[in-house]
Structure 1
Amino acid sequence: MEPRPKSFYVLTAFFALFMLFLYGPTITIGILSFQGEGGGLTFPMQGVSTYWFRDLFQQQAVGDIWGSFGRSIVLGLMVMVTTVTVSVMGGLAFRTKFKGSGILFYLIITALVIPSILISLGVGLLFSQTGLTVHWATSGFGAQLTWTLPFGLLIMFAVFNRFDKSFEEAARDLGASPWQTLRHVVLPIIAPALIGVALFGFTLSYDEFARTLLTAGSYNTLPLEIYGMTTNVTSPVLYALGTLTTLFSLAIIGVFLTIALIGNRRRARAGSDAGKGVL
């Protein structure tokens, strides 16, 4: 076996440092969340316990944390469903060239490069100046869509750019209507991409701070509530909250990956059964 070049070890060390930089803060917060009852926000730890997790579940200790958590879940689901629906519709529309499609595409992408706080300020001013109520379910919802829709549309553009139209032609030759072709042919084929768009939509909404800051109104979402806690909470209960929200985010990702895995296995099984039927 040939010895590895020195560049391999240099790049390995660089990658290890990068991973430490990326996940080190999260791991540190996770460790400090298990401080003993007399522990503070820094090392050294004063014992090990789950005291701060128990304290977290006392409503008066953390203000409206559970209400903000519920609002973030509802808002994330709203954004997820809208992002998936509009992204699929947009992807289907852009399969055919139409007048102004290039300009419309760049207008969509522009939302990604405009500073998020300016989007939040603009949407908040628009609602207030037109007499509409600034609320997380209206103005906050709209502001977050300017963040999630471009990602969803870019994914759908890439998917439909590689989509084999012969599957649709075969379905139409067999007498399928446009709706039947979409429902029974197109959507099952692009299902993994739809799961990815849904994951993007929910997680980007759930974690979004800047575009919600001036559009949430009187009620905070979870990121805003956590930010508010940093100014008045001086105990590891803040770290306990961070640990739980991180675990929740990982659980959501796990759920979406499981759904994608089950879907792939079902499609593989269906294809295998179809092949046996032909033989």
Structure 2
Amino acid sequence: MERRPRSFYVLAAFFGLFVLFLYGPILTISILSFQGPQGGLTFPMNGASLHWFRDLFEQQAVGDIWGAFRRSLVLGLVVMVTTVVVSVMAGLAFRKRFAGSGLLFYATVTALVIPSILISLGVGLIFTQLGLKIHWATSGFGAQLTWTLPFGLLIMFAVFNRFDKSYEEAARDQGATAWQTLRYVVLPIIGPSLIGVALFGFTLSYDEFARTLLTAGSYNTLPLEIFGMTTNVTTPVIYALGTLTTVFSFAIIAAFLMGAWIMGKRRARLGSDAGLGL
């Protein structure tokens, strides 16, 4: 067996430290969330139990945890759907290279480099000047789209840039309309990429803080609620909440990845059947 060079172990150790840096805080919070009823916010732990997880489902003296969770969930789903639909439409439009498309592209990507708090402030000011109510479902929704849409657009531009147009031409030769070509040819082919856009849209919205800070109005989303709890909650219940939301986030990511894997297998099977003339 060939001996590995010393550089391999150096790089492996560096990678291990990188992973520890990424997930160490999450692991620490998860451990502290399993403390006993007399536990505090720091080590050493005082007992071990599920007390603080049970406490999450009881009436809280401060905050509106589950209301904030429902708002973040609904907002994330709406942002996800909007991001997918607009990204696909924009990707299809940019294939035509219409006048001003380059300027529009750079204007969209610029939203990624503008400080998030300025976006939040700007959207809040626009709604105020127009006499509209600042609310998580309106101004908050708009502010979060400035964060999710650029990612969706970049993914769709990359997908359509290498999309083989011969599939569409073959469908049209068979008498398919433009809508049928989109529905039965284009969308199934780019399906896994759409799942990636949806994942970006939901996860970026679900935990977005800065762009929601000045646009949520009177009702907090979950990130704002957790931030508020850090100023007045002195028990590990906040760690239990962090652990549950982290598990939920990983579950969502796993579900999206499973969907992408299933769609990839289905597309490969259909391609194989088509190649065999079935």
TM-score in same-fold range (> 0.5): yes
What's the Cα RMSD here?
1.0
Q: How does 1:68-217 map to 2 (within 5 A)?
A: 68-217=68-217
1:26-63: CA deviations, max 9, x gaps? 00000000011111001111111000001111122452
TM-score of the superposed pair, with normalisation by structure 2: 0.98
Q: Give 1:151's aligned amino acid.
A: F
Q: Which residue of 2 aligns with 1:249?
A: 249
Q: Give 1:160's aligned amino acid.
A: F
Q: Give 2:69's aligned amino acid.
A: F
Q: Give 1:194's aligned amino acid.
A: L
Secondary structure at 1:10 match in 2: helix
Alpha-carbon separation, structure 2, partners of 1:34 and 1:271: 49
Alpha-carbon separation, structure 2, partners of 1:276 and 1:167: 17
Q: Give 1:74's aligned amino acid.
A: V
Alpha-carbon separation, structure 2, partners of 1:268 and 1:170: 19
C-alpha contact 1:87 1:149 (8 A) present in aligned 2: yes
C-alpha contact 1:83 1:148 (8 A) present in aligned 2: yes
Alpha-carbon separation, structure 1, partners of 2:12 and 2:68: 41
Alpha-carbon separation, structure 2, partners of 1:205 and 1:158: 22
Alpha-carbon separation, structure 2, partners of 1:185 and 1:22: 40
Secondary structure at 1:243 match in 2: helix
Alpha-carbon separation, structure 1, partners of 2:275 and 2:102: 42
TM-score of the superposed pair, with normalisation by structure 1: 0.97
Alpha-carbon separation, structure 2, partners of 1:165 and 1:205: 33
1:125-151: CA deviations, max 9, x gaps? 110111000000000000000000000
Q: Give 2:159's aligned amino acid.
A: V
Give the deviation of 1:97 after TM superposition.
1.5
Alpha-carbon separation, structure 2, partners of 1:164 and 1:277: 21
Give the deviation of 1:277 after TM superposition.
3.7
Alpha-carbon separation, structure 1, partners of 2:267 and 2:156: 20
Q: Which residue of 2 aligns with 1:5?
A: 5
C-alpha contact 1:111 1:146 (8 A) present in aligned 2: yes
Q: Give 1:262's aligned amino acid.
A: I
Alpha-carbon separation, structure 2, partners of 1:50 and 1:11: 39
Alpha-carbon separation, structure 2, partners of 1:125 and 1:268: 50
Secondary structure at 1:41 match in 2: coil
Which deviates the most, 69-78 or 267-276?
267-276
Secondary structure at 2:251 match in 1: helix
C-alpha contact 2:34 2:51 (8 A) present in aligned 1: yes
Alpha-carbon separation, structure 2, partners of 1:62 and 1:23: 29
Give the deviation of 1:274 after TM superposition.
3.2
Alpha-carbon separation, structure 2, partners of 1:121 and 1:31: 37
C-alpha contact 2:189 2:267 (8 A) present in aligned 1: no
For the structure 1 residues 277 and 102, does the alpha-carbon distance in structure 2 shift closer, same or farther, using more than 3 Å as the test?
closer
Residue 85 (structure 2) pairs with residue 52 (structure 1): no
Q: Give 1:154's aligned amino acid.
A: L
Which deviates the most, 168-177 or 55-64?
55-64
C-alpha contact 2:203 2:249 (8 A) present in aligned 1: yes
C-alpha contact 1:59 1:65 (8 A) present in aligned 2: no
Number of residue equivalences = 278
Alpha-carbon separation, structure 2, partners of 1:179 and 1:32: 54
Alpha-carbon separation, structure 1, partners of 2:18 and 2:202: 27
Give the deviation of 1:266 after TM superposition.
2.0
